[in-house]
Amino acid sequence: MQSKPSYWRVSDDTPVTKAEAVEIWATEAYPLLVGVAGTHEAIITYQELAEKIQEGTEIRTRIILPSWIGAVLKKVAYETHHRGDPQLTALVVRADNRKVGKGYEKVLEVTGEPPVGNDQDRERHAARARLECYRRFGAPPHP
């Protein structure tokens, strides 16, 4: 019995490269995150995002999440910056504390901003970005 490749298409188990998977997943993640931004104070965990993009693209992996989700979010960060949109990656948070992870620093690199000093400053930056996302993508204000 042959084991599955690291990244594969669900339809026929054909392998895809990590680069191909990341590109396809990032394309899937962008509109998904725009949808999240359409609900005031909405967020999505890294795991939830990973499951949704794998389900939507029918490309799966057996590789652990921290090994590839950062590459997907970095591509999304470039796309949001290119479009002039607020940083949608700020909507993606850790399940345990509902805050962005340390990889959020890559967003600052993409946008040409200086690195933040600590976890609190990083979360403050992300909170401002989330508010911009809600405003841009039509989330009604909280009553």
Across 10-102, the runs of DSSP E, i.e. the strands, are 44-45, 59-61, 92-93
CB 139: neighbour CB atoms within 10 A? 18
pLDDT at 1 over 60: no
User: Are 46 and 95 spatial neighbours (Cβ–Cβ below 8 Å)?
Assistant: yes
Strands (E), 10-143: 44-45, 59-61, 92-93
CA distance linking residue 72 with residue 23, whole number of Å: 7
Distance of alpha carbon 55 from alpha carbon 86, whole angstroms: 26
pTM of the model: 0.92
pLDDT digits (tens, 9 = 90+) for 91-143: 999 999 999 998 898 888 888 888 887 899 999 999 999 999 999 998 776 65
Residue with tokens 């993009």: 53
Quote the distance between the C-alpha of residue 89 and its chain's center.
5
Alpha carbons 108 and 120: distance in angstroms, whole number:
15
